[in-house]
Structure 1
Amino acid sequence: MKKMITSVGIGLVCLIAAPNTNAQSNGEFHLDKTYSIGASGTLYLNSEDAEVRISGSNRADVHVKIDRTQQIKGFSSGRSEFNVLVENRGDDLHIIERERSGVRIQMGSIRTDYRIDIELPESASLRVKGEDDDYVVRNVSGKIYMETEDGDIEIIDCRSTNLEFRLEDGDLKIDGGSGALTVESEDGDIEVRRGNFRDIDIDVEDGDVMLETSLADDGRYILRGEDSSIDFTVTNGGGEFSILKDDGSVRASSAFETVRETDHRSELKLAGGKANIEIRTEDGRVRLSKN
């Protein structure tokens, strides 16, 4: 991930550095080590503005590789301080980005390249908190909890049966998955493909939702959106759909039977199962299809 910040200002500072028209390395950090973790342990990661790649395999330990460089060009009055704490706590491994002091720039620019690569046992769980980080997570079967602000999250071939995400403006993409899925999002889009979920709870404000999953007879599926467009594709199974709407619209393919239709409520049925699906929207569009 590359971040560019440009700042121009005039004022008195306690420390005046000589002007520098050439790029200089500042806040450089590199780590490439292996750490232990329990077979059912949890990896805790707390970072900011990084490009993060996490992958599970049949290994028994955790390989952590972190590379961060910062290039400063212009007038500067100080240097940033950066470090990452990695420590075992019981069966768990904690990776925590330490607080850093900012570089004061009166005229010039800063470019930061920051990447975190983690390889861990497939059975491990994840508990991740970031700000503007972008994530790609592959082949993890433990519980996954991720919280971020503007960063994007992509989940690929993870056999976890418990997925939970909390985002602000970032997008979420999930390819595969089963069990329970919980998502809270503000303006980001949500895309779920090849799902086999039994329990889904998605709450989004202005982002769009594209959901593709099979339905379990005893399953519970709840989707809430304000101005969101919701595309719900059923790959297997069936059930009863209850859609509450204000000014929103509902469209369904011929596989769905309309049971009841009013200005603010639509009830439909899809043969092949007994799942309960509840969708709530204000001004958004809802489209149902069977694949």
Structure 2
Amino acid sequence: MSEKKIKQKSEQNSCKENVTEDKIHTETYEKLRSSPESKENLKRGDYILEKYRQQPSEKYEIAKHIASEIVNDFDAVLLDAGSTAEVIAEELFIQRKYLTVMTNNMGAYAAYTRAIAPQKGDSPRLLNELLVTGGRYDSTYEALFGDATIEAIKTFSPNITILGVSGFIFNEGIFCHGSEEVRVKKLIWSIPTDKRVIAADWTKIGKRDAFAFGPSIEQLLINAREAVVVTSKPPAETDNKLRQLFDEQISQIRDAGIDVKEIQIPKSENQM
């Protein structure tokens, strides 16, 4: 066999292997999204499972956009806790290489293991570094909290921070749901960075929740060169009042000099 044919065969085998690996990942990920109660997830908390059931397609598309369009190879990423952040983590570890990611999100650790499980040799997916903060584990949020968590985050100098939210209103603030989350989110919010990213599907826009960890949307640009909100477009059947509220909030955010990315969510087969 000629050297050229050997090379072509090698490239074909490599391509087939990559397709197989991507197929394995896709099937695993879709299983996680569609059936959070599957065997490997029996020990997950009710709260985080319920969060996974809410707008799963929106979470997935937002995560894909952040990984492909906002984060670059070699970035230092400070990642928040939460279900959306876990999906973002998985996409980062699939799409990017040479990242250093610090997080208190144990779901992100699970995402890391899922992303690298089918990999072999010097696959790019094996070249990312994940730093878990340490701290007291809270099974409700599948996250680490406490003094050890705070001290670890203080040592990190990210060029990108990514925060999940349970709601935000332009003139009132950015909200989270649990009291345990507030201290860590406030710290992540305040750390100097090149780019601060808020990941929130459209249902969070104009919504109030228990605790405001960011005093106003305008302050997204404090200690940051850029700020971006990545959200999803409301579906066609959305109530007019909700759509109007969404549009008003997005307009105010843009007027404050903050970039907004509205992701179009593909229709599922049962919607077509």
Asked which structure has the greater CA Rg, the reply is 1
Q: Which category describes the TM-score, using the shorter chain as reference length?
A: under 0.3
Higher strand share: 1
Higher helix share: 2
Q: TM-score, normalised by structure 1?
A: 0.23
